[in-house]
Amino acid sequence: MKRDLSGWKNPSVLLTSTGLAGLGDFIYLVAINILVYQLTGSAAAVAGLWIIGPLTNIFTKFWTGSYIDYRSKKAIMMKTYLIRAGIIALIPFAPGIVAIYGMLILLSIAKAFFVPSSVTYITMTVPKEKRKRFNAIRSFTSSGAFIVGPAVGGALIFLTSIDLTLWLNALFFVFAALLLIPLPDGEKIDKASVPSLNLSQVLSDFTVVRSFMADNRYFTFIYLMFIAVLLFSFAMDAQEVVFTQKVIGLSEVDYTLLISITGIGSVTAAMLLSVFSHKISIRMMIAAGLIMMTAGYVIYAFSWSFTSIAAGFIILGFFNVFLNAGMATFYQNNIPVEVMGRVTSIFQLVQSVLQVFFILMIGVIADIVSLRLTIVVLALSMLAAAVVFSIGVLKRDKVRYYLETDEQTDGKKTG
């Protein structure tokens, strides 16, 4: 038991660091939404905040992986934490909305570097047999931040001011960076062999990613299907406020309560999964999680009252945790860390492009036909895609992709 706990020292520190940053993200989100609305009085200006991230990803993910894979992932995480802290601390001094948007773009660029490097560093730091529980606990911290973060942000703004809230928020990222100092690098970087970041290198790395995807066709199919299924949820989430208020007739207070209910469902699931993850296979977490989460969206699409929507939100919030923890473990177990930064960046590039296109397309369609019909078609299409996805996950001859220990062979997993 003592030996088992000692193996959790570094993962626990990593969980604390990412948990603090996650809490900081949600506090910042509340503060920046209120600040932009106060400055502009425009709902469109606030909505624009939500598209900065995907658009930034489109213009940065071409080359972030090429930078990350040849450098210390731990160092990149620490630098991006500190850069985000610095930018957030400077937002109160911005002379106007244009400057604020410029800072938000810089924040998104920093996060574009952080995500692939953190995925790779977690894979390097957390042993394979501990990844499933690590991802379950991380889901718990993320879900907790989803509930606690906005509440803390709102309370700080009420008790102090937006400016002071942002300065305190910056400290979360500073502390997150400091926590990483004692952790091992997990890799030896020969600075002399690090290639220059130029067009030739980026194109060469695209070839590496393409070769990986060709050699691992099953993994690529499953993950691209996962991205495709999530597009439906992104599109429905983008229309969530309008659907609940204009179609169902709920108030803003009702909607806020629904978000809290979803968060409570997620926290409950993450808590249970953290304790019982060893009893649930990765395949079952993914397949059952996706089918049940999609069922929650179907209930939501056909809802007629607060109670029915709440039931759908509880189900999708609960099982979304199982899906994300399972997919994170599947992802970490099947990509060599040597190319993980590049592969992650390209997948996120594909996801961002499709996300922006899909959300805009659904917005246009919803103006042409009824929003109810749009949401129903999206939910049923998501259910059909989820069934195909789950059949692929549960194929008996693909079980080796879901093994949880190093008994898995290190050879290529083609198929």
Q: For the segment 397-410, what is each residue's pLDDT rounded down to a tens digit?
A: 999 999 887 654 44
Q: Which two tokens stand for residue 401?
A: 């992709």
Taking 70 as the pLDDT cut, the residues of the chain under it are 1-6, 43-44, 47, 189-193, 406-415
- Residue 33 CB contacts under 8 Å (≥ 6 apart), including other chains: 46, 49
What are the sequence ranges of the domains in the chain?
A: 1-134+144-183, 198-403
Nearest in space to 10 (alpha carbons), one of 99, 112, 102, 124: 124
C-alpha dihedral sign at 18, 22, 25, 31? negative
pLDDT of residue 7: 76
Burial grade of 7 (CB within 10 A; 0-12, 13-18, 19 or more): middle
DSSP label at residue 304: -
pLDDT of residue 4: 53
pLDDT of residue 2: 45
CA dihedral 384, 385, 389, 390 (to 10 degrees): -30
C-alpha dihedral sign at 98, 100, 103, 107? negative
Burial grade of 326 (CB within 10 A; 0-12, 13-18, 19 or more): buried
Q: Which two tokens stand for residue 236?
A: 């429905």
Nearest in space to 13 (alpha carbons), one of 180, 202, 239: 180
> Which residue is associated with the tokens 């213009």?
59
Domains 1-134+144-183 and 198-403 share a fold: yes
From the options 3.40.50.2300, 1.20.1250.20, 3.40.309.10, 2.40.50.1020, give the CATH code of 1-134+144-183. Answer: 1.20.1250.20
pLDDT of residue 410: 43
CATH number of 198-403: 1.20.1250.20
Please, are residues 326 and 289 in contact by the beta-carbon 8 Å criterion? yes
pTM: 0.84
pLDDT of residue 29: 83
Nearest in space to 111 (alpha carbons), one of 335, 336, 345: 345
Q: How many residues does the chain have?
A: 415
CA atoms of 133 and 325, how far apart (whole Å):
8
